[in-house]
Chain A
Amino acid sequence: MSKKSRSKLWFLVHSWLTLPIWFFVLIVCVTGTLAVVSQEIVWLATPEARSTQPFDDAPLLTYEQALTAIHKAEPNLAVQSISRPDESHFALVARVVYPDGRSPSLYINPYTGAIQGESPSFDFQAFTRALHGWWLVPFTNGFSWGWYLVSFLGLPLLGSLITGLVVYKKFWKGFFKPNLRFNHGARIFWGDFHRLCGIWSIWFIAVISITGLWFLIQAFMFDNQISISTAGNPPVVARQDVPIMPDGKPAPQISLDQAVKIAAERIPGLEASFVSLPSNAYGHIEVGGPGWYPLLFQTAEINPYNGAIEGSRMIADRSGLELVTESMRPLHTGDFGGLWVKLIWFFFGLILSMMILSGLLIWTKRTALATANAFKRSEKSQRAPAKTQTATAHSQQPEEANV
């Protein structure tokens, strides 16, 4: 095969990858883009989710102070965890259970402890993630097939990136001489747009497709009982450590602030971004937050009766392989460096969605015809003369005329 026809073949592969499912790919990209900033969208739409400082220099409440404030307002509420979103404009989120069994999240003012509101029953964050992540297909036995469907798209996405770079001759020149022609018709504009966005999105498309493929591998490994985890079973409080109370009342537990203090002593630099209360009498208080490596959380399990640290998961506890694989999710979602990283992910998510649309526009204006021509050329010799004539008539049209 000649060099020219080989590059033509690459071009056809690039043009046809995922084309029949372009709308599916587009929706997955758009919902993924929305999911990146879903927390911010909730913040915009829900005043209760915001954090308002009552006066300048008002100090933030500690976890125990927030818990006390919640119990003062709602003595019968059972609190399961309190988390502090990593940006100060968000309210604390407390997962609670009411005596009637409803278990919403509550937005808590981080300065006053006031219960500002309840999370709505339509959870926008969870919905966009479910739509993007597994196409709403329920998990009934291992990973849902929707998860496989979506994560499989990492393959054509990576293929598009590679074939795109193969057919875009000397693409690196586009970095120095950006080319976006407005006055040469729609096809030229969208072609320039597609190429320009493409080269500046190389890193992003690579990150999204590779992490997306990891989700596929992860599901495959889980469903086939292949584990690379070095984390053991979650610890339970030993039976003899749970006091027997002659009066029949629950045994006293250490405060959340004590637990945070104990964890901070063990994990230098730990900024506890969440505290989970024991999930039964044999459970631990779990304190966790990001460590020196911002992509991963570190956690410590603290015995609520004697304050002993009985389990922990540090950055150093992960194997090299786990450091890579556990970084995949934050890299995919852009949730590891605050608002600015999210906005960068959001921006390139929009660009990627636009690339699908611009690619489709180019295809409708050019590739359909180019494919037909290539198809006809290959069949020309085998076909009846009469048919060849019509085919030739088409293929003789100049390409730019089809713009």
Chain B
Amino acid sequence: MSKAVAAQPSTTLGRWWHKWRFHINVLLLLVPLGFMPKYFADASLFRGDSGLGEREIGIVQVGPWSLKLAEFRNEAPRPDGPAGYMKSFNAALCDTCIDQVKAAYLRIGKPRSLRAAGVIFFGTPYRMGATMPIPDRTKADAELWITLEGWDGSMHQASIPLSQASPATVAWLAQRGTK
């Protein structure tokens, strides 16, 4: 089609544009093609086909109960506007405690009371998620506290080192600390 255009632009940039302008289409088409594997990996992650999360942390015993914990994404916290940096974890309650646990919470640092237990998990006992803010001042040796509240009013807590819960977050904190 460009053969109809007889006059060639005189500047180098103009000639370059003239020669390559329709190749923008190709570049634009490469975008969804390139992101397609990522799209399907995410779709499978959201649907639970590829497990609880990108990185399983393991089973955490919390009093008489236990839950399986996973990092939703095996990566550093993501920025979320004014809320700061957020990190998501997924969890599944043990089979026998499904009917006994009323709610599950997650927090960095030991909660002083049930009312300050942190962010609550949403979802079903088989697969629930919680997204928590990661403050900038979080120490590398911080602990992730899990609080389970029973229907009978009881409360049980357990903690794991943040370095075990999310090495990517600890690495990210270290990197931010040096800046």
Contact = CB atoms under 8 A, between A and B. Distances in A.
Interface of A: 20-24, 27, 78, 80, 97-104, 121, 123, 126-127, 130-131, 135-138, 140-142, 146, 149, 222-223, 225, 239, 242, 244-251, 279-283, 363-364, 368-369, 371-372, 375-376, 379, 390-391, 394, 402
B39 A136 contact: yes
Contact of A137 (B21, B31, B79): B31
B42 A138 contact: yes
Q: Quick one: which of B35, B78, B92, B124 has the most chain A CB within 10 A?
A: B124
A304 to B, nearest CB: 13
B42 to A, nearest CB: 7
Nearest to A367: B4
B172 interface: no
A140 B22 contact: no
Given A245-B151, A248-B152, A249-B151, A103 B128 contact: no
A135 B33 CA distance: 9
Contact of A369 (B5, B31, B95): B5
B7 A379 contact: yes
A247 B124 contact: no
A280 B103 contact: yes
Interface in B147-179: 150-153
The 9 closest A-B CB pairs, nearest first, are A78-B124, A23-B25, A368-B4, A248-B152, A20-B21, A136-B35, A136-B32, A24-B28, A101-B127
Contacts of A24: 24-25, 28-29
13 contacts: A22-B25, A23-B29, A24-B25, A101-B52, A103-B47, A130-B39, A138-B35, A149-B31, A250-B102, A250-B151, A280-B103, A363-B1, A369-B5
A101 B92 contact: yes
Contacts of A225: 81-82
A21 B4 contact: no
A390 to B, nearest CB: 7
B47 A20 contact: no
A302 B96 CA distance: 29
A280 B5 contact: no
Contacts of A97: 48, 123-124, 126-127
Contacts of B115: 239
Nearest to A372: B5
A21 B102 CA distance: 55
Contact-size category for B: 35 or more
A162 B64 CA distance: 69
Nearest to A131: B32
Given A369-B4, A372-B4, 5 more contacts: A102-B48, A127-B39, A282-B103, A364-B4, A390-B6
B100 A248 contact: yes
Contacts of B95: 99
Contacts of B44: 121
Contacts of B103: 280-282
Contacts of A376: 6-7
Interface in B1-24: 1-2, 4-7, 21-22, 24
Q: Quick one: which of B24, B103, B127 has the most chain A CB within 10 A?
A: B127
B102 A242 contact: yes
A138 B38 CA distance: 8
A368 B5 contact: yes
A264 B68 CA distance: 40
A289 B125 CA distance: 27
B52 to A, nearest CB: 6
B31 A146 contact: yes
Contacts of B25: 20-24
B31 A135 contact: yes
Contacts of A138: 35, 38-39, 42
B127 A103 contact: yes
Interface in B65-117: 78-82, 92, 95, 99-100, 102-103, 115
